[in-house]
Structure 1
């Protein structure tokens, strides 16, 4: 079956999951030269803008489950893109982007911008705006 022949499901949840997987695949493929996934890029972007932040606060900003976020942080810490700057023996970690992480973020940002432009070209700016509005409404249910 060709892409334009794909039929939607009667299940709204399944349609959203399929769309999410398709968009994630596009972004991950476009970010691949940087070695980051779209989820990892998002973490670096949030850390760049938030500065030192606790894992819980970062999870709230990204709107991810804390456990999922912790799992996503491990490869970024292993690559020294992020570091914990909290004092030894402290329970609350304070995460910060490293210089190496900033370089990786900037490399990936150009690729992410290309992914954004690709989506806009394929779907159209007006449709992206509608989609964003609808997704925001759905998230607030």
Structure 2
């Protein structure tokens, strides 16, 4: 994903913002299992680059994040690299993939 200039975490944030359609930082933090101040540090470079905007939405509380046209283009550019990486990991893990996913879900429930 390096050629796109997006980290895996930033990619996940962009994807989640797109899926949630203008979430607040709190909603995004809950969806991505991040602490809000840590997530804000992840989001800031995306705002500076123009991939996201942050602002008030009339009638709603809090700052909302919106995926921009540039953000959609960046997400589209990074998605093939993400897919290749996921395929590579799946190939390496083979039959252990399902065991790892189950273990990660169990750890997530504990956190």
TM-score by length of 1: 0.73
The correspondence for 1:61, drawn from 31, 36, 51, is 31
Aligned to 2:98: 129
CA RMSD of aligned residues (A): 1.5
Structure 1 residue 76, shift from structure 2 partner: 0.2
Q: Distance in 2 between matches of 1:106 and 1:130?
A: 30
Does 1:37 find its partner at 2:7? yes
Q: Distance in 1 between matches of 2:101 and 2:44?
A: 30
1:41-68, CA deviations, whole angstroms, 9 ceiling, x for partnerless residues?
Answer: 0000001111011000100000011111
Query: Following superposition of structure 1 onto structure 2, how do residues 79-90 of structure 1 map, counting pairs within 5 Å?
Result: 79-87=49-57
Q: Aligned to 1:140, what secondary structure does the other structure show? A: helix
Gaps of 5+ in 2: none
Gaps of 5+ in 1: 1-30
Name segments (4+ residues, structure 1) moved above 2 Å: none
Q: Aligned to 1:95, what secondary structure does the other structure show? A: strand
TM-score by length of 2: 0.92
Query: Following superposition of structure 1 onto structure 2, how do residues 1-141 of structure 1 map, counting pairs within 5 Å?
Result: 31-87=1-57, 92-124=62-94, 126-141=95-110
